[in-house]
Amino acid sequence: MFLQKIKKTRKNLLVSVGATLLLSSCGSHKLEKQIDNTLSRGVSQYTYMMKRLPKDKYPKTYYAAKDKLETSGSGWWCSGFYPGTMLYLDEAVKSPVLEGEIDRVLQDLKREQYNTTTHDLGFMMFCSFGNANRLNPKPEYAEILMNSAKSLASRFNEKVGCIKSWDSSDDGYLVIIDNMMNLELLFWASEYSGDKKYYDIAVKHANTTLKNHFRPDHSSYHVVNYNSKTGEVKRKRTAQGYADESAWARGQAWGLYGYTVMYRATKDKKYLDQAVAIAAFILNHPNLPKDKVPYWDFNAPNIPDALRDSSAGSVMASALLELKNYVDKEPSKKYFAAAKTIITTLTSKEYIAEEGTNGGFLLKHGVGHIPEKSEIDVPLTYGDYYLVEAMLRYKKQIK
């Protein structure tokens, strides 16, 4: 009788485990199909967008009420995301139409390699030419990337220990957390050229940011204003978030992604520890929704009615899918599960645009700058870029 009970228990356990594995497998298969459909939708959307896009302009966002596609010139910080997204889409789903548009845009964008007025050359040039060179290495691409790195490095101040983000009319020296995303260009330049100065600048910037941008709970300020002559901190604030002491969601995502890249490039454990700490802040926060797509600010006053920021979710998902490769088994599983949940949410009908809508953008419900009443609940070009990147990373990891 006792042995019969054991056999029955084992049988039930095996059935239960089998059912769990089957459900997990079905869930993964369903998401993989959902991702493939989203990538195909991306190709059709960007084919639609390119037909609406004026010559020498780059997409920023779209306002459905006015059927208005808002654009910029090549000097805007988001200019690299349009060709970058198309490069990722073409990598996933070959498209001669997109390939022609990519070549056209890169020919226009290359003028920004000499732009020393912005810190965003990583976004502008590495998301575009960096991906182009990764997929199809060319001396021309490498030269453009090197010149871009030189332009970015020209904004570094040794006294402050950071690359300047925004210019100031006084002795202020403004640095934003977003700037962590531009350091990957410098690491590439150092490896390609053999010149360690680019590596050293990236490390010094990351160390100064680590020291001054983060609170004890590992959330970050958006902006730190330094004294350009002494390097001392003058003020810490959060320009695009709810309040100076709040945790603006996309800012937390930039930090997570940036310090994950820092660990990849240097193998310095303090950067891994920082990325893990930021991930813990995000994933353990009581205001993070179950579907893991964050509110635009973790401290927004009208949660749960506050707007979500799909762009922040995209960046987080992509970062977590890299970070999972650098940690032990249990946190790795946690990061993968969280990223999977975000991608599942963002590739649902709630967030993915119907074909021929949304101005040609793929992802809906992004939040740009609520305090300035700008780009509120709209598609954002960087939201598309990091979602497509996250989907490609997911597909590679489940093979």
Q: What is the pLDDT of residue 25?
A: 55
Using the predicted structure, report yes or no on whether residue 239 has a pLDDT greater than 80.
yes
Q: Long-range pairs for 257-261 at CB < 8 Å and ≥24 separation?
A: 257/180, 257/181, 257/315, 257/316, 257/318, 257/319, 258/177, 258/180, 258/181, 258/183, 258/206, 259/180, 259/206, 259/210, 260/319, 260/322, 260/323, 260/326, 261/180, 261/181, 261/183, 261/184, 261/187, 261/322
At 132 the pLDDT is 98
Q: Active site includes 195?
A: no
pLDDT confidence tier of residue 124, bands split at 50, 70 and 90 = very high
Question: Catalytic one among 67, 90, 171, 178?
Answer: 178
pLDDT score at 399: 79
Average pLDDT over residues 109-133: 98
Q: Which two tokens stand for residue 87?
A: 């490069």
pLDDT tens, 304-346?
999 999 999 999 999 999 999 999 999 999 999 999 999 999 9
pLDDT computed for residue 22 by the predictor: 42
Q: What average pLDDT does the segment 159-176 reach?
A: 96
pLDDT of residue 306: 98
Confidence of residue 360 (pLDDT cuts 50, 70, 90): very high
Write the pLDDT tens digit of every residue in 83-105. Answer: 999 999 999 999 999 999 999 99
Q: Of the residues 56, 67, 90, 120, which is catalytic?
A: 120
Q: What pLDDT was estimated at residue 286? A: 98
Least confident interval from 22-31, 143-152, 153-162, 186-195: 22-31
Residue 170 annotated as catalytic: no
Beta-carbon contacts of 128 under 8 Å, excluding residues fewer than 6 positions away, are 79, 80, 81, 83, 84, 87, 105, 106, 109
Task: Read off the pLDDT of residues 215-226 as tens digits, 9 standing for 90 and up.
Answer: 999 999 999 999
Which CATH architecture does the domain made up of 41-397 adopt?
Alpha/alpha barrel (1.50)
**388-397 per-position pLDDT tens digit:** 999 999 999 9
The pLDDT value given to residue 136? 98
Residue 169 is predicted with a pLDDT of 86
Q: What is the pLDDT of residues 264-273, one digit of tens each?
A: 999 999 999 9
Q: What percent of the chain has pLDDT over 90?
A: 91
pLDDT reported for residue 5: 42
Task: Please state, rounded to an integer, the average pLDDT across all residues of the chain.
Answer: 94
Residue 3 has pLDDT above 80, yes or no: no
Question: Does the pLDDT at position 120 exceed 80?
Answer: yes
Percent of all residues in the chain with a pLDDT value above 70, rounded to a whole number: 93
- What pLDDT is recorded for position 17? 38
pLDDT in tens, 6-61: 344 344 433 343 443 344 556 789 999 999 999 999 999 999 999 999 989 999 99
Give the per-residue pLDDT at 26. 64
